[in-house]
Structure 1
Amino acid sequence: MDTKGARPEVELGLINTELAQVEEILFQEARSEARLIFEVSDYILKSGGKRFRPALLLLSSHLCNYQGGKAVYYASAIEYAHTATLLHDDVVDEAKMRRGKSSANFIWGNQGSVLVGDYLLFKAFNMILQLGNIRILGLLNEIALQMAEGEAFQLANTAKIEISESEYFSSIIDKTASLISASCQIGAILGEVSRKEEEALADFGLNIGIAFQLVDDALDYRNQAPSWGKEQGKDFLEGKATLPLIRAWKIADVKGKEYLKELFSKPHRTKEDFEKALELVEAKDGIKYTMEKARQYVSIAQKHLNIFPDSPYKLALIAMADFVVERNF
C-alpha cells in the first residue's frame, strides 16, 4: 500500500464529523452544577489538545468495520481519562504551564485540579458503564491502574539518574502507551474482529504510544517550535530521567557520569544545570538515539497493520504513526 505523502490532517478528514461529535460530547458531559468542575474542565478541554487518542479509536473502529454510534462516546471517555491524568500530573509536578497556557493547578490550586481530575476520571468510567460493554470497562480499569503505577514509579525515582532503559520503557508503557493501546483495542472490540486482529491493533497502539513518549522526551531536550507549549528542559528541571539523559549517562565515562549525576541529583535544578547537562546529552547523541528508537517503534507499529486489508482507514492510521515522529510539538 502506497503511503507516501499521507498526512493526518488529510486522512483525518475521514472522521471529521465524528471528531466534532466528540468535542460536543466532551463539553456537554462535563457540565455540572458545581461551578468549579465546569470552569476547570472547560478551561483544560479548550487548551488545545491533539485528540490523538479519540482519533485512533475512531479510525480503528472503522478499520474493523464497526457501523454503530457508540464509538464517539468511547472516544470521549478515553479523552476524559487522559485529561484527568494531565490535571493530576500537573499537581504532582507542581507545573505552572500546560500547552502554552497557565496550568489549571496554577489558577485554581492543587485541590481544585485534583477534584476535577477525579470527576473526569469517574465520568469516563460512568460513560463506559452506561455503554454496556463489560470487556471495555474492564480494559479501562486495568489501564487506569497501570497508568497510576507508571506515575508512581516516576515519582519514586525523582532525581535518580541510575535508571535502566528497561525500567524507563516499562514506565512509559504504563503511563502513556497503555492508554493509546487501549484506544486502538476498543475500536477492534467494537468491530468484533478476531482475537488476532484485536491483538494486532492493541500492539499497533502500544508501539506508537511508546514512540509518542520518546518523541516528547526528545523534544524536551531540543529547541522546539513555539507550539510546543512548555519550557525546554522541563523534565530535567522536575527530576525526571528520560531516555536522552539515561543514554548519555550510560555511555559517558566515569567523570561524565559523576558530572551528570551531580547536576541531576540536586534538590533544586536550575536552567544553568540543564544547559550543562544538555551539552553532554548532545555530545553523547542522546537526542538522536531517542529519535532513532522512536522511529523503530513506529516501524514496528505499522507492521502490525499488515493483517488488515488496504483501506483509507488503514492509510490514516499509518499516517498517524508517521506523524508521531515527524511532529515538533
Structure 2
Amino acid sequence: MHRIAYLERESIRADVRRPAFAHEWVEYSRTVPAELDARLAGVTIAIVNKLPFTAELIGRLPDLKMIAVAATGTNNVDLAACQARGIVVSNIRGYARQTVPEHALALLMALSRNLVAYRASVQDGRWQRSDQFCFFDHPIRDLHGQTLGVIGSGDLGDGFARLAEALGMTVLKAERKGAATVRPGYTAFDRVIAASDAISLHCPLTPETRHLIGAAELAAMKPTALLINTARGGLVDEAALAAALRAGTIGGAGFDVLTEEPPKDDNPLLAPDVLALPNFILTPHVAWASAPAMQALADQLIDNIEAFARGEPRNRVA
C-alpha cells in the first residue's frame, strides 16, 4: 500500500480529492528542508511544490517511488538522481493557460496606461485641485499598434500572444538566444530585444536561461520598452533591472516572480526606492492562482498519482 505525503498543502487553496486506491495519506501545511527526512520516512509518493529534492536527499529515501510536483516547474528536483533511481517525477501542465496570460496582460496594461501613477495622484488630491475635468501628468499609450516580443512559446507564451494580437499588437516570437538558425515563425533573439515595445517572458528556468535578460539585453531594449515576467525570477538579472529602472533606461517592468521566494529584504527589486517607482509593479507569484486554475491543478495532481499507481505514469519529466 502506498504511503503518500503532501508536504506543502498550504501552497494551494482547492479541494484535493483522495486517490482512488488503497493508500495512507498524511499532509502538512508547510515543511522546511530540515523536516524532510523525518516526514518522508517510509513514503512512496511525495507531493511537493517548491521544496528542494536534492540528490543527497533522494539517496536517503529508499522507499520513494514517485515525486508528484504540484506545479509546472521542476527545477527544485534533481531529475538526474530520480532517473538513476527509477523514481517517476510528474508535473502539472496546461492548468494556467488562461490565468497566467491574463495576469501578464494586466501588468502590461497597467504599465502602458500608467494606472499606478494616476491612482497615486488621485490619492494625493491632484484631481481635486485640477483646473479642468482631467489632468495629463502621466503619459498613456495604447497597446494597439505596438510590438510585443514573446520569449517562450509554450501554452502560456502562445496564450499571451493570442491576447496581444486580439488587441492589435504585432507579436514577435523569439528564437532561442544564441541559436545559429532561426526557425520559421520565429525572430532572432537579439532582433526581438531591440524591436519590441514590450517583452514578456514565458520560458522555464534552466542553466541556459538563467539571467537570459541581463545588463546587455536591458541596454539593447528601447528606452520606453516594458518588461513583463510571470515565468521565473532567475530569468532576469535583478540587480541589472533595478539599475535600469533607477536610471530610467527602460520604460518599466511588471514582475510576478523573484529569484528567491519568499524573497529576502536585500533583493534589489525590493529596495524601497525601486518599489516606489510608478513604472514597476511587483506581485507575489500569484499569476497562476485564480480559483479555477488552482482547482484544475489539484485535480490534475491526483490524476497523475492515480495514473502512476495504475502503472501508466503521465506528465513525466523523469
TM-score normalised by L of structure 1: 0.26
Structure scoring higher RCO (CA < 8 A, sep ≥ 6) equals 1
Structure (1 or 2) with the greater strand fraction: 2
TM-score normalised by L of structure 2: 0.26
